[in-house]
Amino acid sequence: MTKWEYVTVPLLIHATKAILDQWGEDGWELVQVVPGPAGSDNLVAYLKRPKA
């Protein structure tokens, strides 16, 4: 059975692709993107990757 580790990452609207590309290079897979805290223009990404 695969064991996973997770991370939440703040996404800046103007740099979303660059941020996700960098995490993807490190082996992280995007699970979901949700709105950031109230009053914020940012998003929060949830990512996962198999534990070593």
Q: Following DSSP, what letter does each residue of 4-25 receive, concatenated?
A: EEEEEEEE-GGGHHHHHHHHHH
Measured between alpha carbons, how far is 12 from 33 in angstroms, rounded to an integer? Answer: 12
Nearest to 11 by CA among 20, 3, 24, 2: 20
pLDDT at 19: 95
Phi, psi (5° rounding) for residue 16? Answer: -55, -50
Q: Are 13 and 43 in contact (CB under 8 A)?
A: yes
pLDDT tens digits for the chain (52 residues)? Answer: 999 999 999 998 899 999 999 999 999 999 999 998 887 788 999 999 999 8
pLDDT at 1: 94
